[in-house]
Amino acid sequence: MNHVFNVQGMTCGHCERAVTQALQSVDAQAQVEIDRGANRVEVQSSASREALSAAIAEEGYQVA
Protein backbone atom coordinates (compact mmCIF):
# COMPACT_ATOMS: atom_id res chain seq x y z
CA MET A 1 0.00 0.00 0.00
CA ASN A 2 1.21 3.50 -0.82
CA HIS A 3 1.14 6.14 1.94
CA VAL A 4 1.99 9.82 1.50
CA PHE A 5 2.79 12.05 4.47
CA ASN A 6 3.44 15.76 4.82
CA VAL A 7 6.32 15.86 7.33
CA GLN A 8 7.50 19.14 8.85
CA GLY A 9 10.96 19.69 10.28
CA MET A 10 13.22 17.73 7.93
CA THR A 11 16.14 20.04 7.17
CA CYS A 12 19.06 17.80 6.18
CA GLY A 13 20.23 14.38 5.07
CA HIS A 14 20.40 13.21 8.68
CA CYS A 15 16.69 14.00 9.04
CA GLU A 16 15.91 11.96 5.92
CA ARG A 17 17.91 9.00 7.26
CA ALA A 18 16.20 9.24 10.66
CA VAL A 19 12.74 9.20 9.07
CA THR A 20 13.68 6.35 6.72
CA GLN A 21 15.09 4.26 9.57
CA ALA A 22 12.03 4.95 11.72
CA LEU A 23 9.73 3.79 8.94
CA GLN A 24 11.84 0.72 8.24
CA SER A 25 11.77 -0.18 11.94
CA VAL A 26 8.01 -0.63 11.51
CA ASP A 27 8.34 -2.46 8.17
CA ALA A 28 11.84 -3.58 7.18
CA GLN A 29 10.67 -3.99 3.57
CA ALA A 30 9.26 -0.46 3.31
CA GLN A 31 10.33 1.54 0.26
CA VAL A 32 10.76 5.18 1.27
CA GLU A 33 11.08 8.23 -1.00
CA ILE A 34 11.60 11.64 0.56
CA ASP A 35 11.30 15.05 -1.07
CA ARG A 36 12.61 17.29 1.71
CA GLY A 37 11.89 20.50 -0.23
CA ALA A 38 8.22 19.58 -0.52
CA ASN A 39 8.06 18.07 3.00
CA ARG A 40 6.78 14.91 1.31
CA VAL A 41 7.43 11.35 2.43
CA GLU A 42 6.08 8.53 0.28
CA VAL A 43 6.13 5.03 1.71
CA GLN A 44 5.33 1.74 0.00
CA SER A 45 4.51 -0.54 2.93
CA SER A 46 2.09 -3.14 4.22
CA ALA A 47 2.11 -1.47 7.67
CA SER A 48 -0.81 0.69 8.75
CA ARG A 49 -0.79 4.42 8.10
CA GLU A 50 -1.17 5.00 11.86
CA ALA A 51 1.91 2.90 12.71
CA LEU A 52 4.02 4.67 10.10
CA SER A 53 2.83 8.10 11.20
CA ALA A 54 3.58 7.26 14.84
CA ALA A 55 7.12 6.16 13.92
CA ILE A 56 7.78 9.50 12.21
CA ALA A 57 6.37 11.42 15.17
CA GLU A 58 8.49 9.43 17.62
CA GLU A 59 11.57 10.71 15.78
CA GLY A 60 10.43 14.25 16.59
CA TYR A 61 8.93 15.29 13.26
CA GLN A 62 5.45 16.72 12.83
CA VAL A 63 3.15 14.78 10.51
CA ALA A 64 0.57 17.13 9.02
Extract the residue ranges of the chain whose pLDDT is less than 70. Answer: none
Report pLDDT digits (tens) over 29-41: 999 999 999 999 9
Domain annotation for the chain: domains and CATH numbers: 2-63 (3.30.70.100)
The pLDDT of residue 9 is 96
Q: Which of 30, 48, 39, 33 is nearest to 10 (CA)?
A: 39
The pLDDT of residue 28 is 98
The pLDDT of residue 6 is 98
CB-CB contact of 19 with 32 (8 Å): yes
The pLDDT of residue 8 is 97
The pLDDT of residue 38 is 97
